[in-house]
Amino acid sequence: MAYTKSVDELQELLRQAEQRAEDAERDRQEERQRAEREQERAEREQQRAEREQQRAEDAEEQTRLTTFIEYIVACHIHVFLKLVVETDKKLTSKGSITNPRNKWCPTHLRPWPDFLEQQRVIFGTLHDSFPTDSRLFESRGFLAGLGHRISQRPIANEKTLEFFLHNSVEDPVRTISEQLKQVESVRRAFDMGRGIVFENHPHAISDVAQEVADRQTPSTPQTPDHRHDLNQLRPDQICVYRSNDGPSESRTMVFVSEYKPPHKLTTPHLRLGLRAMNIPNDVVNRKTIPTSAAPDALFQYHAERLTASAVTQTYHYMIEGGLEYGLVTTGEAIVFLKVDWEEPETLYYHLAEPGPEVAAHPEHSHVCTAVEQSLDDGIRPLYVSGARGVLFQVTMIAYGYTFVGKGTVQAFIRDLEHEAAVYERLRSIQGANVPVFLGAIDLRPMKKIYYYDHRVTYQRHVGGKSSYVWSGSQLAYGTNGNVLRAGRWTGVNAREAG
């Protein structure tokens, strides 16, 4: 009996022990679950905090100013890559890309051999002279908003392409220039002067200015008519000027740009059409034209004609403006052009495709993105103009004499003749109160060409130059009292001279 009771007690004790073990295990599991829940809750809190921090950092990154390299890359990603080309032919502009008739045409078209090396050197110099870690440029958020607006306007004609290029290339370039010119080391390295501006209107005394056009003498029709159609030749390209340092605001044209919609001049056209060639022999005077039986040869033929027409128009403006550089752009591609004035009949080119090039070279993406030439020895434009003429510094190299020449276009010849008559009337006070007038030169019989600005050339169809003794800078920058006294004395003497 006692034995049975002992077994029962032992069994009860064992059951209680097992129950305590189960309770302890359950407590341990519950504690582990509580710990896991706490850990999960802590992890969720950490993740939420990290997301909040990431959102804050993203928001700050979108709104804070960018560095030089960040800005170039952001312009490409958020703006340039938002280019959309209209594919519905019913909505695109019609007609040819240009008419190369009556324009200067290069004889040779050749690759620009050292373009990339020049670009590398320029970026290296810029990197060494500009604080590239300074946050000076527009934010990514602003550029993203701009890119969204651009994406809503597919390129269907010249105007929408102009809108795209103004916003994706020219405005960023101007913005960068405004910051670069603030740094003295950059100003010295690149001769930036007061920066650059983009304009697309001609000079006030160019042959497309309204007053000049009104002064043109009508002529009887000729067959063929060799007179320029002013409306047809009115330039639509953007002219880029550099504002020079100095007491007066003066500008020098740096290069010209021509816009060609990508549905008229495609990137495949440019890839095939740009090659080393003799344009008059290989394109203009080509004897045979491929037929539809040879589609590849026919496409090559059209590519060369379209490309040659486009670069010829830009070359014409480069020659007219006395420029070394120019470009043709479709938005998708850019053709950089160069004229070596030691060999002006040759036009050098480099084709850039920013989209594919950045994708292929991400480590050099900032380099791949789309972001004074004296023509006559002894004759230099001073970029000082008035209502009827512009000034040149003329040096007789053989003797060292320097004087000022005032040039004008044909429409204003009679104005300079009247000015010459006034100086002749004031001969007695020349050299004392008014400049010494040396005489006038008619450039038309000499068939000479001098460039001042876009569509302002002094050549065989242009009036002439009046010559005055060189006397340095403008009087306006002398001592005010001296200027006023000299002005009053000049007025008195002029009235006495009649």
Q: In the 8-state DSSP scheme, what is residue 363?
A: G
Q: Which residues touch 263 (CB under 8 Å, ≥6 apart)?
A: 85, 86, 89, 92, 93, 155, 156
pLDDT for the residue numbered 215: 58
Residue 451 has pLDDT above 60, yes or no: no
Note the pLDDT tens digit of each residue in 168-211: 988 999 899 889 888 888 888 887 777 888 877 655 445 555 55
If you average pLDDT over residues 101-130, what whole number do you get?
Answer: 90
Residue showing tokens 């276009």: 409
Taking a C-beta distance cutoff of 8 angstroms, is the pair 109, 276 a contact? yes
Q: Which residues touch 276 (CB under 8 Å, ≥6 apart)?
A: 108, 109, 110, 111
Q: Name the pTM for this structure.
A: 0.67
Q: Give the C-alpha separation, 73 to 176, whole Å.
A: 13
Report the half-sphere exposure of 27 (CA within 13 A, side-chain side): 6
Q: Where are the domains of the chain?
A: 7-63, 66-90+98-211+235-368, 379-497
Q: Give the C-alpha separation, 420 to 434, whole Å.
A: 12
Residue 228 has pLDDT above 70, yes or no: no
pLDDT for the residue numbered 356: 82
Q: Name the more confident of 476 and 459.
A: 476
Burial of residue 418, with CB atoms counted within 10 A of its CB: 0-12 exposed, 13-18 middle, 19 or more buried: exposed
If you average pLDDT over residues 367-394, what whole number do you get?
Answer: 58
Q: Give the C-alpha separation, 291 to 305, whole Å.
A: 15
Least confident piece of the model among 80-84, 210-214, 426-430: 210-214
What is the token pair recorded at 89?
A: 């032919």
Phi–psi pair at 338, nearest 5 degrees: -145, 140
H-helix or E-strand spanning residue 43 = helix 2-63
Going by C-alpha positions, the residue among 273, 352, 25, 384 that lies closest to residue 393 is 384
Q: Which residues touch 136 (CB under 8 Å, ≥6 apart)?
A: 65, 67, 68, 179
Burial of residue 444, with CB atoms counted within 10 A of its CB: 0-12 exposed, 13-18 middle, 19 or more buried: middle
Taking a C-beta distance cutoff of 8 angstroms, is the pair 198, 240 a contact? yes
Taking a C-beta distance cutoff of 8 angstroms, is the pair 462, 451 a contact? no
- Residue 87's CB is within 10 A of a number of other CB atoms, namely 10
pLDDT for the residue numbered 132: 82
Q: Which band of pLDDT confidence, cut at 50, 70 and 90, is reported for residue 254?
A: confident
pLDDT for the residue numbered 225: 42
Q: Give the C-alpha separation, 289 to 280, whole Å.
A: 15
CA 283 to each of CA 6, 259, 298, 351, 420: distance values in angstroms, whole numbers, following the listed order: 120, 22, 13, 19, 49
Pairing of strands 251-259, 325-329: parallel
Least confident piece of the model among 36-50, 304-318, 408-422: 408-422
CA 40 to each of CA 1, 28, 30: distance values in angstroms, whole numbers, following the listed order: 57, 18, 15
Residue 104 has pLDDT above 70, yes or no: yes
**CATH for the 379-497 domain, from 3.30.200.20, 3.30.1330.90, 3.40.190.10, 3.40.50.170:** 3.30.200.20
If you average pLDDT over residues 270-281, what whole number do you get?
Answer: 95
If you average pLDDT over residues 452-459, what whole number do you get?
Answer: 51
Q: Which band of pLDDT confidence, cut at 50, 70 and 90, is reported for residue 41?
A: very high
247 CA to centre of own chain: 26
Taking a C-beta distance cutoff of 8 angstroms, is the pair 369, 354 a contact? yes
pLDDT for the residue numbered 57: 82
